[in-house]
Amino acid sequence: MRISFIGLLIVCNLSMWAQKKIISGSVLDVETGLALPFASISFNDYSNGSVSNSEGVYIMDIAADRLRDSLYFSYMGYETLRVSVKSLLIEGSVWMRSAQINLTEIPVYSQTLNTLAIIKLVEKNFPKNHPQVNQLKHIFYHSYNVTPFSEANRMNVLKTSFTDIDQELVNEVLEVIPEDIKSYRDVIVDFYSHATETKIMPIEGISLQESTVQSIQSQIEEKLLSLTEDIELSFEDDELYYKMGTGIISSKLELEEPDSEDIDTLMINSDDTTHYLISSEYLRKDIENFLVNTTDINSDNLEFINKPKKYNYQKELTLFNDEWVYKISFEPREQGIFQGVLYIAATNYAILQLDYEFATGKSTENINLLGIGHKVNYKKAQVIYEKLDTGYYVKYVNAEKREFFSVDRDFFMVKKEKRFLFDKALNKIKFALDMQFETKNGWELLVIHRQNLTKEAFELVKEPEKMTIKKEFVYSMDMWDHGSVIVPNTALKKFRRDNK
């Protein structure tokens, strides 16, 4: 039964995309010529869709059986635009016109409610407007990380009795680390959800920069070869061991078999210059956590809805897909964090779009304890929903997070030999760390299409243990075997993996 079900999916997919066409272009304002970022693009039945990128550029694969159809371009505050696929194959760029609001047509009910009442109705109606349903979602998920390493970062050897470890060696290790450590990873997966259970079926994965990270790790391991070999030998000798610590706190270095959580982020085939493997479970949980953090009504990131007393609101009306929409701007009071805009359907208080970010001067998780510091300096997210017959569902999420880390503290490492009463210290090094990092992480998630899922179909899906990620040197839309998704922005287009 399982073979026939999966086989049917494969056959249907191949026949649908065998003669596909690709359309691409920009979404622009007809009057100003300015790009419209994150415009929503879909067929009328929402069976397939995309968004323009941060620069208003889009790309879509069109199956052979949809070449006679039309695409719908929608953008908050603009008239929805319908364009035939045939026309878009000739000229992919489209120009959208701002929706003209006739004050005499504004419904009375939309003017009587105050903003706080609307926010409370959004929260109250959230389960009905945005239900949890059993679905198969075809998802594109992009993530990136940039971590600068400043020349001001220091590791000073205060005292050492290790013959092979001194300040010169430490300086050589620090010089290996580049000014910026960057990584990009894109995956396409089928995401299955039924009741409280989820599974993924990996389709394709692509990565940039991983070989550089591996190269840095290899160079550092080479410079610290004698130390790492000696530590490994101590694991095999019952009389020898290493300890690391700071102040009065220390712990013994032990060889442990990685458990399932440790394996999650483990990259296998590190010697393979073309591919590596990641845990499917880790990827599934990563996608789940991302959606919960950015879109769940109970998330701390949506406190401008679930804790409205922390915010001031202003209301105006606009149009979207020929329907009235509350455009509610918000800014924090003393205890609030975010500023931004909510777009709410005036008829049923469903969320159509969220745009939120840290207000100026706001931060969270401010920790500075015993020389260890951490702070979230910035968060930003945009969430776009699509309306279907059964409710409003997440179509696209774009998020960014910047974190600050600092270490200003002395550490030590000691090699000891076990004795009857007191273990003997054979070698010891004490060093001072003075380092600061500000990492930047970003994510994009696009639900390309979705369909209802039965319990029987869900149970037939067997999630593989690992997903293969293909390593690439340069970002190119041609590198996708299963069709292009979101056009990368200029920075990603120009990015070239350092493969030294």
Residue range 64-82, pLDDT digits in tens? 888 889 999 999 989 999 9
Give me the pLDDT at residue 498, please.
Answer: 45
**For residues 102 and 451, which has the higher predicted lDDT (pLDDT)?**
451
**How many C-alpha atoms does 9 have within 13 Å on its Cβ side?**
14
In this model, does residue 47 exceed pLDDT 80? no
d(CA 390, CA 385): 13
Give me the pLDDT at residue 313, please.
Answer: 96
Does residue 433 contact residue 115 with C-beta atoms inside 8 Å? no
In this model, does residue 10 exceed pLDDT 70? no
Report which secondary-structure segment, H or E, holds 173.
helix 167-176
Burial of 334 (0-12, 13-18, 19+ CB in 10 A): exposed
Nearest to 63 by CA among 52, 51, 49: 49
* 3-class SS of residue 286: helix
* 3-class SS of residue 19: coil
Span 225-250, average pLDDT: 90
Contacts of 103 (CB under 8 A, 6+ apart): none
Bridge partners (DSSP) listed for residue 277: 268, 468
The torsion defined by the Cα of 368, 371, 374 and 375, in degrees rounded to 10, comes to 50
Taking each continuous run of H as one helix and of E as one strand, the counts in the chain are 12, 23
Strands 275-279 and 249-252: unpaired
Write down the mean pLDDT value for the chain.
Answer: 85
Residue found by looking up tokens 């840290």 in the block: 358
d(CA 387, CA 136): 17
Angle 359-364-366 (CA atoms, 0-180°, nearest 5)? Answer: 135
Phi-psi region of 381 (alpha: psi -120 to 50; beta: other; left: phi over 0): beta
H helices present in 96-209, as ranges: 109-112, 115-129, 167-176
Tell me the residue type at 162. Answer: F
The torsion defined by the Cα of 228, 231, 237 and 238, in degrees rounded to 10, comes to -160
Residue found by looking up tokens 């004050």 in the block: 103
Angle 237-243-249 (CA atoms, 0-180°, nearest 5)? Answer: 150
Does residue 339 contact residue 331 with C-beta atoms inside 8 Å? yes
Put the strands of the sheet holding 21-29 in their side by side order: 57-62, 21-29, 94-96
Q: What is the pLDDT of residues 104-148, one digit of tens each?
A: 555 655 556 789 999 999 999 999 999 999 999 999 999 989 888
Tell me the residue type at 16. Answer: M
d(CA 10, CA 26): 32
Give me the pLDDT at residue 213, please.
Answer: 58
Does residue 326 contact residue 121 with C-beta atoms inside 8 Å? no
d(CA 462, CA 196): 16
Tell me how far CA of residue 348 lies from CA of 122, 340, 352, 353, in angstroms. 8, 21, 11, 14
Of the ranges 172-181, 443-452, 457-466, which one carries the lowest mean pLDDT score? 172-181
DSSP 247: T
**For residues 204 and 478, which has the higher predicted lDDT (pLDDT)?**
204
Of the ranges 167-176, 302-311, 376-385, 452-461, which one carries the lowest mean pLDDT score? 167-176
In this model, does residue 218 exceed pLDDT 70? yes
**How many Cβ atoms sit within 10 Å of the Cβ of residue 39?**
24
d(CA 197, CA 206): 27
275-287 burial code (b ≥16 CB/10 A, e <16): ebbbbbbbbbebb
DSSP 369-405: ETTEEEEEEEEEEEEEEEEETTEEEEEEEEEEEEEEE
Q: What is the pLDDT of residues 222-237, one digit of tens each?
A: 778 888 899 999 999 9
